[in-house]
Structure 1
Amino acid sequence: MNIFFQRFIKLLIGIFLFALGIVMTMKANLGFAPWEVFHWGIGKTIGMSIGNVSIFISLFICVIVVLMGEKLGLGTILNMILIGVFIDILLFFNFIPQMNGLVSGVVQMIAGLFTIAYGSYFYIDSGFGAGPRDSLMIVMRRKTKLPVGLCRGILEIFVVLIGWKLGGPIGIGTVIAAFGISFCIQIVFSLMRFEATSVKHETLDVTQKNFKALYFKKEG
């Protein structure tokens, strides 16, 4: 299989895993993870689904990271759109069972965080541009030189405070997610021997040129 399409499949797998991990943490029934507290709070305030709120917040973040010098790519755009779509689809079909106990909830919460971490690895490593939230994490890493996990943790705590003020559902799972996501990302990236800032992401223009070159090569 052509390297371009291998990378594209890795991108889609990463996006789906990220959405799946988010729904897993929601269905743990211990309080939403920080970004979902934030999205739910906004959605509750303006009357919008959590998936659609995720898309609009991602668009806003994209504007911020571009202003801070981060490049956007095909992966950034697809992440912005598809994660919200996948979340709404998974919630609609009730694919993930809701936990009713503390132990089962904690297990599912942690499993969801690791699923998110692996999703982050797959779509960042595809090189099509990090997702909006991961682009923000990478910008923080480059600007502050802090560990990538710590940067993610700071972002998680910040958004959960805003989401809580807007009425988003919080609980022990929120605390686990806020502090656990940084460790999960650090563990997964270390296991995969992956340094997020070392990836050279393609801009949309470069991806378009590579795709055209591949297409015309096949035609020839």
Structure 2
Amino acid sequence: MNWFYRIVFFLLGLVFLSLGISLTIKSGFGSGAWDALNVGLSETIGFTPGTWVVLVGILLILLNAFLLKNRPDFGAIITLLLTGVFIDFWLLQIFAELELAGVFASAGVFLGGVLGMGLGIATYIQAKLPLSPIDNLMMAIHKRFGFNLMISKTIGELTALTLAFIFGGPIGIGTLIVTFAVGPLIQFISPHIEGLMNRLTVAVR
């Protein structure tokens, strides 16, 4: 049963994460740095944002292996593929015709997206299954340099922000909010999700 809950948390986390990413992109406030990079690459070179999630993620797998001095975690490609598919599903199918009327609607969608991202990451990392290379970068920085999750996440986001600017991604005030807010949100939510996971796994023993 432990595996059952781990898979459930993994999939639910990726659904929430991809939903949150898609909402921030559609809000028009500016998406997260990595997502702005993927959208910028999509608009500049071609392919869908979800495809760039996979391609950029493969490069990050190699970077994470260098930081941790480990073999590349190619198992994370499964996480990449699922995340890319979910993002394209939300963006190209569910929200393709979404039109937001007014700044308050956009702000509400954006804030919902930020919460979805924080909840999604905090949920799926509890499954101890292969992390998205973006989140594995957070963990790699955390383990390599001893920073907490909040600082590690922020370092990764600032790196992506620079690249997103270079490739002309949709950067706005929302990008800065995501850059500095998601890390603390993960730090806040993670203990609660971990406690829920522990209670569920203990209950079935």
How does the TM-score come out when normalised to structure 2?
Answer: 0.84
What is the CA distance between 1:136 and its match in structure 2?
0.7
- 1:68 counterpart SS class: helix
Distance in 2, Cα, partners of 1:38 & 1:13: 24
2:102 match:
101
What is the CA distance between 1:80 and its match in structure 2?
1.0
Deviations 1:63-116 (A, max 9, x none): 222233357375x23211111111111112234844343333233222212211
Q: Percent identity?
A: 25
How many pairs are equivalent? 192
Distance in 2, Cα, partners of 1:193 & 1:22: 22
1:137 match:
138
Alignment CA distance shift 1:5-1:73 (3 Å): farther
C-alpha contact (below 8 Å) 1:138/1:148 kept by paired residues = yes
Q: Does 1:90 align with 2:87?
A: no
What is the CA distance between 1:193 and its match in structure 2?
5.6
C-alpha contact (below 8 Å) 2:64/2:137 kept by paired residues = yes
Deviations 1:98-152 (A, max 9, x none): 4343333233222212211221122211111222111110110112222211111
C-alpha contact (below 8 Å) 1:114/1:188 kept by paired residues = no
Deviations 1:14-48 (A, max 9, x none): 11111111001112111222111111122222212
Distance in 1, Cα, partners of 2:122 & 2:177: 20
Q: Does 1:9 align with 2:8?
A: yes
Alignment CA distance shift 1:114-1:143 (3 Å): same
Distance in 2, Cα, partners of 1:163 & 1:92: 21
Structure 2 unaligned regions, length at least 5 = 196-205
Q: Which residue type is aligned with residue 10 of structure 1? A: F
1:40 match:
39
Structure 1 unaligned regions, length at least 5 = 195-220
Distance in 2, Cα, partners of 1:127 & 1:26: 28
How large is the RMSD of aligned CA atoms in angstroms?
2.1
Q: How does 1:119-158 map to 2 (within 5 A)?
A: 119-158=120-159
Distance in 1, Cα, partners of 2:191 & 2:74: 25
Q: Which residue type is aligned with residue 117 of structure 1? A: G
Alignment CA distance shift 1:188-1:49 (3 Å): same
Q: How does 1:60-71 map to 2 (within 5 A)?
A: 60-69=59-68
Distance in 2, Cα, partners of 1:68 & 1:90: 33
Q: How does 1:50-65 map to 2 (within 5 A)?
A: 50-65=49-64
Larger Rg over CA atoms: 1
C-alpha contact (below 8 Å) 2:61/2:74 kept by paired residues = no
Q: Does 1:27 align with 2:2?
A: no
Q: Which residue type is aligned with residue 149 of structure 2? A: V
Distance in 1, Cα, partners of 2:29 & 2:92: 20
Q: Which residue type is aligned with residue 25 of structure 2? A: M
Alignment CA distance shift 1:175-1:102 (3 Å): farther
Distance in 2, Cα, partners of 1:183 & 1:109: 17
